[in-house]
Amino acid sequence: MKTVFVTGANGLLGTNLIHEMLSLGWQVKALVRNPDNYKGEQHTYLELIKGNLFDDLAPYMKGCGIVIHIAAETRQDLLRYSDYQKTNCEATVSLFQSALESGSVKKFVFVSSANTVGHSDFFELGSEDKAVRFPFKESYYAKSKLEAENFLLENKENMDVIIVNPTFMLGAYDTKPSSGKIILMGWKKRILFYPPGGKNFVDVKDVSRGIIACIQKGKNGEKYLLANNNLTYKAFFKLLSEHSEQRPIMIGLPKWLLHLLGYGGNCARFFGLETSMSLTNMRILCQDNFFTNKKSVKYLGIQYRPIEDAIHDAVSYFKSENILK
């Protein structure tokens, strides 16, 4: 029986991953800030540990062979790089040191982001061996995740390190909600405005199974993109409208308008106003943020589900929680 220590258990990915591991008979120790906020299934093999990423976690890791680090600062409205660096990089370093001190952890799996690798260009889709490019290299979130990746890869001789880079995840148990906000934005709107770019969407269940496959088949020091459908925002909202049985009037937003809003957001941020509207974020909305999943299919054996299944799971969950009608 495998025993795993996992962070970020209350989130979309954390909850789904825990379910997958429990179904395999694995024992899970899950770090949570507040155990009452855990909305997943209870199980005799699941131990919820109340704490934070900067606690001395080595004692809790004893007996665990694997650490999976999911918890991250993903909000887009923070003003300084240090706001992201503390959680996404410094906490990762602390957690890695605790894993070493435990004496039992042999493998450290870091859940990063697809935004730390190069996205598609005119010639090919983004892949693990491509360097991050503008405008993502200007993103505080992406920069902090990449800094953590670099630290771990520099220390892969001390412990097996595997990095997974999921794209935009959708599915059930999005309790905040986080990425599921895109569904709330487009649900049953009569008029729907959409940006000119697009992104890669993936079922959170596939990401969960991909992490497990990394534990079983992944190689030390490797990065694995967990990605599926490349869709423009217009195409995604068309898929969503099929689930809502609505036919909204769809209006594309021009790049110049988004850039103008971004400049306005930068001015507001200069004066200390926390807003997700920044020039970097608006430029990202104009990108075709597309990726290939060839490496994870070939070396991890992942069979990806249609993204329609993930949309269905997310919508069903939001309805069960009375978030959607």
Dihedral (C-alpha) 123, 128, 129, 134: value to the nearest 10 degrees? 60
pLDDT tier at 127 (50, 70, 90 boundaries)?
very high
Place of tokens 């200007």: 138
> Of 189, 176, 180, 166, nearest to 310 (Cα)?
180
pLDDT at position 17, please? 98
> Of 191, 76, 202, nearest to 141 (Cα)?
76
pLDDT at position 324, please? 84
Q: How many Å apart are CA 228 and CA 140, to the nearest integer?
A: 25
**pLDDT for 291 beyond 90:** yes
Task: Report pLDDT digits (tens) over 194-239.
Answer: 999 999 999 999 999 999 999 999 999 999 999 999 999 999 999 9
> Of 140, 100, 127, nearest to 230 (Cα)?
127
Q: What is the mean pLDDT of residues 119-146?
A: 93
With H, G, I as helix, E, B as strand and everything else as coil, classify residue 203.
Answer: strand
Distance (Å) of CA 154 to CA 161, 177, 221 = 10, 34, 9
- Mean pLDDT for the chain? 95
**Amino acid identity at 5:** F
Strand partners, 67: 5, 108
With H, G, I as helix, E, B as strand and everything else as coil, classify residue 229.
Answer: strand
Query: What percent of the chain lies above the pLDDT cut of 90?
Result: 88
- The DSSP code for 87 is I
Q: pTM for the complete prediction?
A: 0.95
